[in-house]
């Protein structure tokens, strides 16, 4: 019931190693426990999730959906949810979040 309906594009462990993020062609971004149980579906959309990263706080998750970046607290108690246009000319294909200076960098088809 919690599986992706398309190919899984990527996986990332949380900074503390207690949760695993999976992103798929189906547009879903899911949080799993270490034992493989689905904790939650953070996002479900029509666009494949190609880029995603845990925030330095271990709670925030940043992911791409087409040209847009989305930010959400996986616990629901952290940063408020945000979305913004990151690239005008194509898909966002990679993202990283610097834990020291709290800056985000992205790359895409238009770079």
pLDDT digits (tens, 9 = 90+) for 17-26: 999 999 999 9
Angle, CA of 63, 78 and 92, to the nearest 5°: 10
Enclosing H/E stretch for 42:
strand 38-44
pTM, two decimal places: 0.88
Q: Are 60 and 72 in contact (CB under 8 A)?
A: yes
pLDDT digits (tens, 9 = 90+) for 2-41: 789 989 999 999 999 999 999 999 999 999 999 999 999 9
């Amino acid at each position: 019931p919690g599986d992706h309906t398309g190919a899984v594009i990527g996986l990332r462990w949380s900074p503390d190693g207690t949760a695993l993020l999976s992103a798929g062609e189906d547009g879903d971004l899911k949080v799993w426990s270490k034992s493989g149980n689905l904790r939650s579906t953070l996002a479900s959309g029509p666009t494949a999730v190609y880029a995603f990263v845990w925030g330095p706080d271990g709670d925030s998750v940043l992911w791409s959906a087409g040209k847009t970046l989305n930010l959400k607290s996986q616990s629901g108690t952290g940063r408020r949810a945000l979305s913004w246009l990151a690239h005008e000319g194509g898909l966002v294909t990679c993202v990283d979040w610097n834990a020291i200076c709290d800056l985000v960098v992205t790359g895409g088809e238009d770079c």
